[in-house]
Structure 1
Amino acid sequence: MTLSSRNIRRLAVAALMIALGTAVARAESFVHPGALHAQADFDRMKAKVDQGAQPWLDGWNMLINNPHASLKWQPRPANVVYRGKDGAGHPENYGTLFNDAAAAYALALRWKISSDDAYADKAVAILDAWSVTLTEINGSSDKFLASGIYGYQFANAAEILRAYKKWPEQDFRHFKTMMLNVFYPMNHDFLVRHNGAKIDHYWANWDLANMSSMIAIGILTDRRDIYNEAVDYFKHGQGNGAIEHLVWQLYPDGLGQIQESGRDQGHSTLDLALAGAFCQMAWNQGDDLFGYQDNRLLRGIEYVAKYNLGNDVPYVIYRNSDVTQDVISSNGRGDIRPIWELLYNHYVILKRLKAPYTQMFVEKVRPEGGGGNYGSNSGGFDQLGYGTLTYTLK
């Protein structure tokens, strides 16, 4: 049968559309693993630890000596997690969630570097236990901190384990369903409604926590719409977690005042912990938010680092609907969080930018541990940590 010229053109157009559609799909597909760590990162970690190279070996020892990375760890899933008083007399139990999230991540890391499947089995057991149990996160408004911080941490553990051949596909799907049904709706609702409060009421870390969960869930579940929602909020959001509200006052010397600088330094460093994790996840998907608006985030990082190392920094009075803060807060000044390796290695080692105070801080805290190495309360688990092992480039 001879094709007419019209049919030939139709077939050519159809073939072109298929080719273009395939190209778009590839452009929109996610890198896996691709949340906080890509496969090249795991290859580097394993090679350096196997060689006994420093400082990776010190970071590895921090990991394997942490009880959360032990095969003895037993998950304690709950049907409903409460953070904050809900007014109905339910006791807070969110400690079980942040401890198990830290354990799942630590065990997943230990598996990727050691290749010992026993650690993957234990990490999967934690994720499976929660995915068949958890139905709700409740409490006071603090429930939105839980949905954000522990959402991004759980999603990161699962992203590491997604290629584990002994994790049945149906169980992995069940875990992703939990993330989409329990965590993501709260992340989305908070960024849209802010618990019914004025847009500037909640501090930056509340937005950043839910943004981090949202971007991690988008990557984990291959949901480009969720991922884009998070990235768009970072760039254009109305709340205090958007980059122009987070680093809101820029100075001629290259520093940038953080939204929570007048509140306390514990929350200022939490802002950096969450913003750094958020940008790292975007980076592994090909989006450079670290460099957005001429490295605006770095200006805030250097501001916080300089002040917390005991130096003076400029300060402009901060006002919102609730407070007026006339001076920078010294409360919590110098507190340690395991957040600096990620920031230092990206800006200084990878991009070769100057960040002298960030460099001084990383030298102060190295080697970085993880959840459980910085106290037993929730603040010690706000970040996944182990940055010396996971982020050191050279």
Structure 2
Amino acid sequence: MTRQISRRSMLKAAGVAAGAAGIGTAALPGPAVAAGPGYAHPGLLHTGADLDRMAAKVRAGAAPYTAGFAKLTANRHAQSGWTANPQATVIRGGAGQNYGILYRDIHAAYQNALRAHVSGDSAHLDTAVAILNAWSAKLTALAGNADRFLAAGLYGYQFANAAELVRDHPDFELGRFQEMLTGVFAPLSDDFLVRHNGAVISNYWTNWDLTAMCCVLATGIFCDDKAQVARAVDYFKHGDGLGSLKNAIPVVHDEGLAEWLEAGRDQGHALLGVGLMGTFCEMAWNQGIDLYGYDDSRFLKGAQYVAKWALGGEVPFTANTRKKGAINGWSGSETVTRAAPVDPAMTRPIWAMIANHYTRRRGLPASYVTRIAAKSAPEGGGGDYGPNSGGYDQLGFGTLAFTRDKAQGAASAPASAGAGAGGAGSDPRPQTGATSSPSASASSAADGDLAATGSNEIIGWTAATGITALAGGLLLLRRRDRARSESQAQSQ
């Protein structure tokens, strides 16, 4: 069922459409939104305009893009000689765990695909396609204890993002990959958001919900499933679990700070959660759904809180009690009275995306987020933050991928997705009249399992001299429209 993408559709997905006008501000250029029955592609963490911006900036030798690209090319997963090791069943949690094989292959596919789009080297695109095709031909099940839900969520959304970068390659088995996402990954994530593994609704911390939410949203967009996207967006706004916006960020304080629930747990999981919520918001934004600004930019306030706390600052904390246990089974509770200790040296590649959205796209102040993004730059990716699962929980490379020129004026939302999510983007809160945030100083990653509980794991670019046409003509078409695309991309 592989679907051929027309040249017109490809160029349309790579373009940038005018965004909705903010109250009393200039219109914000936003990503293109597909006019047809599906979604704009590429349109998960990166749009066509984003990819063009990265390539143009690196080719021009612009900082900090070159430093970000150097982090990518130095990563062992980003090499065209990577060979996939697909498994029929992937196990996370319990006996026979082998999920490290999966996440390393996913990051190799993503990094090679991203490198290909920036450099124009078709060998990397071919490597990404080979990895993804090998897995969709063999993988049939995810197994293990409760941690299998983490595997579904984390690796489902990451798989979709890697595949989104090669979906128009003529050798990529698009239909088969969609079947794998909808048959192996998304059902577990959907089920977790409904049943929470048979536990009371607050038994699982925020990041468990957020992994599932990211998988459901990414799969819905990748497979052009409007109902699935609508479910994910509705859960972000109104879900009962701890991953919905108001449960993850339950208390709003003065001075633009709002408590992140998992700050009472530990630093690693709080960073994971902020990264996942940012990922969710970015994927939605690229389809015209503004969740970054939802509920008076509540996510910004939560990210500011975590950034200040992670930098070693004092933050307020409201004591809370979380019920635990199984439905009709054992029960208990846990009370948290203060924010957990932090190690200011701990970092994850999550901040560039968030800082650039709020300060560059929207022109809002985000001083703590900006400071921690600067401290964490240039951001790397999987394999740069420790050898175990926690170092692979984010796709990373935000310095390369999300650094943006400042938009002229501020606005509230991208172009509406319309039918794309059943009106899911119709409730943004416009932010106006803001100034850019200050920057601060120029890391080491701390170990720790950033997803599962009860685990013993610790969780010279050379400038292209010409334009290479990649297989299937995807990059050739994009480069033919370079002048138009670069102009649009830099306006973001």
- When normalised by structure 1's length, the TM-score is 0.90
Deviations 1:217-245 (A, max 9, x none): 11111111111111110011110110010
Deviates more, 1:331-340 or 1:43-52: 331-340
In the alignment, which of 63, 66, 71 is matched to residue 57 of structure 1? Answer: 66
Tell whether 2:135 aligns with 1:124.
no
Mapped to 2, the partners of 1:390 and 1:103 lie a distance apart of 16
Distance in structure 1 (CA, Å) of the matches to 2:112 and 2:396: 13
| Letter paired with 1:338 | P
CA distance in 2, matches of 1:286, 1:117: 30
Take 2:62 and 2:190, find their aligned partners in 1: how far apart are those partners?
A: 43
- Indicate if the aligned counterparts of 1:264 and 1:332 stay in contact, CA closer than 8 A: no
Structure 2 residue aligned with 1:93: 98
2:107 to 97, 102, 111: 102
User: Over residues 9-67 of structure 1, what are the superposed CA-to-partner deviations in whole Å (9 max), with x where a residue is unaligned?
Assistant: xxxxxxxxxxxxxxxx9365311100000011011000001111110000001001101
Q: Give the AA of the match of 1:266.
A: G
Matched with 2:346 is: 335
| 1:376 maps to which of 387, 392, 398 | 387
Give the C-alpha shift of residue 253 in structure 1: 2.1
Residue type of the alignment partner of 2:88:
N
Deviation of 1:157 (Å): 0.6
Decide whether the 8 Å contact of 2:312 with 2:342 is kept in 1. Answer: no
In 1, Cα distance between equivalents of 2:362 and 2:36: 25
The 5 A counterparts of 1:15-164 are 26=35, 28-85=37-94, 90-164=95-169
Q: How far has the Cα of 1:71 moved from its partner? A: 1.3
CA distance in 2, matches of 1:122, 1:108: 8
Could you tell me which of 369, 372, 379 is aligned with 1:361?
Answer: 372
More helix by share: 1
Provide the secondary structure at the position in 1 that maps to 2:254: coil
Shift of residue 133, structure 1, vs aligned partner: 1.1
Residue of structure 2 in register with 1:254 after alignment: 256
Q: What residue number does 1:181 align with?
A: 183
How far apart, CA to CA, are the structure 2 residues paired with 1:166 and 1:145? 30
CA distance in 2, matches of 1:218, 1:150: 15
Partner SS, residue 188 of structure 2? helix
Q: Relative to structure 2, which stretch is displaced further, 298-307 or 70-79?
A: 70-79
> Could you tell me how far apart the structure 1 residues matched to 2:255 and 2:376 are?
26
**TM-align CA RMSD:** 1.3
Query: How far, CA to CA, are the matches of 1:303 and 1:74 in structure 2?
Result: 41
Post-superposition CA distance 1:175-213 (Å, at most 9, x none): 110000000100100000000000011011010001001
Give the letter for the 2:238 counterpart.
H
Shift of 1:72: 1.8
Gapped regions of structure 1 (runs ≥ 5): 1-24
Aligned residue for 1:260, secondary structure, equals: helix
SS in 2 for 1:323: strand
State the one-letter code of the partner of 1:260: E
Retained in 1: the 8 A contact 2:38–2:225?
A: no
Report if aligned partners of 1:273, 1:339 keep a CA contact under 8 Å in 2. Answer: yes
1:305 and 2:307 matched: yes
Distance 1:338 1:58 in 2: 14
Deviation (angstroms), 1:367:
0.4
TM-score (norm 2): 0.73
SS at match of 2:262: coil
SS at 2:143 equivalent: strand
Question: For residue 205 of structure 1, what is the aligned residue in structure 2?
Answer: 207
> What CA distance in whole angstroms lies between the structure 1 residues aligned with 2:208 and 2:92?
14
Please tell me whether the aligned partners of residues 262 and 318 of structure 1 are also in contact (alpha carbons under 8 angstroms).
no
| 2:287 paired with 1:276 | no
Higher relative contact order, structure no. (Cα contacts within 8 Å, ≥ 6 residues apart): 2
Matches within 5 A, 1:186-197: 186-197=188-199
CA distance in 2, matches of 1:135, 1:339: 31
Superposed CA offset, 1:243-297 (max 9, x none): 0101111112221111111100100010111000000000000001000000000
Task: Tell me, in whole angstroms, the C-alpha distance in 2 between the residues paired with 1:163 and 1:337.
Answer: 31
In the alignment, is the contact (CA less than 8 A) between 1:266 and 1:332 conserved in 2? no
Which SS does the other structure have where 1:161 is aligned?
A: coil
Write the letter of the residue equivalent to 2:75: N
Distance in 2 between the 1:217 and 1:280 partners? 14
Contact 1:204 1:271 in 2 (8 A): yes
d(CA) in 2 for partners of 1:97 and 1:317? 39
Show CA shifts across 1:142-167 (max 9, x none): 11011000100000011111122343
C-alpha separation between the residues in 1 aligned to 2:315 and 2:73? 39
Give the distance between the partners of 1:273 and 1:134, measured in 2 at CA.
27
Greater mean deviation of Cα atoms: 324-333 or 219-228: 324-333
Question: Distance between the aligned counterparts of 1:65 and 1:344, measured in 2?
Answer: 24
Distance 2:346 2:335 in 1: 24
2:264 partner SS: coil
Q: Please identify the structure whose Cα radius of gyration is greater.
A: 1
**What secondary structure does 2:251 align onto?**
strand
Residues 104-137 of structure 1 deviation map (CA, whole Å, 9 limit, x = unaligned)? 1101101111222111111011111111111111
Name the residue aligned to 2:233.
231
In structure 2, which of residues 326, 335, 345 is the aligned counterpart of residue 324 of structure 1?
A: 335
Task: Give, in whole Å, the separation in 1 of the partners of 2:126 and 2:374.
Answer: 35
Please identify runs of 4+ aligned residues in structure 1 that moved more than 4 A.
Answer: 331-334
In 1, the alpha carbon distance for the partners of 2:374 and 2:343 equals 19
User: Cα distance, 1:69 vs. partner?
Assistant: 0.5
Aligned residues: 364
Residue of structure 2 in register with 1:3 after alignment: none
Match of 1:15 in 2: none
Equivalent residue number for residue 344 of structure 1: 355
Name the counterpart of 1:8. Answer: none
